[in-house]
Amino acid sequence: MKITGECFCGEIKYQMSGVLRDARSCHCSRCRKAFSSQASAYALVEPQNFQWLSGEELLTSYVGQHGFGLQFCRKCGSTLCGIYNDAIHGVTLGCVNGDPKVELGRHIYVGSKASWEVIPEGVPQYLEGVPEKI
């Protein structure tokens, strides 16, 4: 299955083969700031299945102290993907075109969610990250 995505201005485009996996929504304060939203919507991708189609020169990155980071369009500001040690780790679901055939499987860090947010029932919620023994 081919999955495509792009930023808000359309200058950066990507494509991946295969499927997205482990879709989650993170409600921590850092993700709220990075995504300018109540939470992130993010799914993992195999790095070898991902390729930039256009606009790669417009990417800018923010990488934290543990090697995890995000890549943005420097023209429109869209958060496109996550990286780990300089490799694509996952994509933001808001920039995916069409139906990626994946659903959010969990909400993490709900213990620090915004006070104004109401999380829908029916999806597993974790006060912090997912416990090791799941």
The structural domains of the chain, ordered by start, are 2-20+42-102 (2.170.150.70)
With cut-offs at 50, 70 and 90, classify the pLDDT of residue 134: low
> Using one digit for the tens of pLDDT, what is the confidence trace for 29-68?
888 888 888 888 999 999 999 999 999 999 999 998 888 8
Q: Across residues 106-133, what is the average pLDDT? A: 86
> Using one digit for the tens of pLDDT, what is the confidence trace for 59-90?
999 998 888 899 999 999 999 999 998 899 99
74 neighbors 89 (Cβ within 8 angstroms): no
pLDDT of amino acid 92: 94
3, 27, 109 from 93: Cα distances, Å: 11, 15, 18
CA atoms of 70 and 36, how far apart (whole Å)? 13
What is the b/e burial string over 72-106, where b = at least 16 CB atoms within 10 angstroms of the residue's CB?
A: bbbeeebbbbbbeeeebbbbbbebbeeebebebeb
> How many C-beta atoms surround the C-beta of residue 3 within 10 A?
23
pLDDT of amino acid 16: 96
CA atoms of 115 and 96, how far apart (whole Å)? 28
Residue 133 pLDDT > 60: no
Q: Which long-range contacts (CB under 8 A, 24 or more apart) does 62-67 make?
A: 62/34
Which pTM value belongs to this model? 0.87
Q: Across residues 17-23, what is the average pLDDT? A: 93
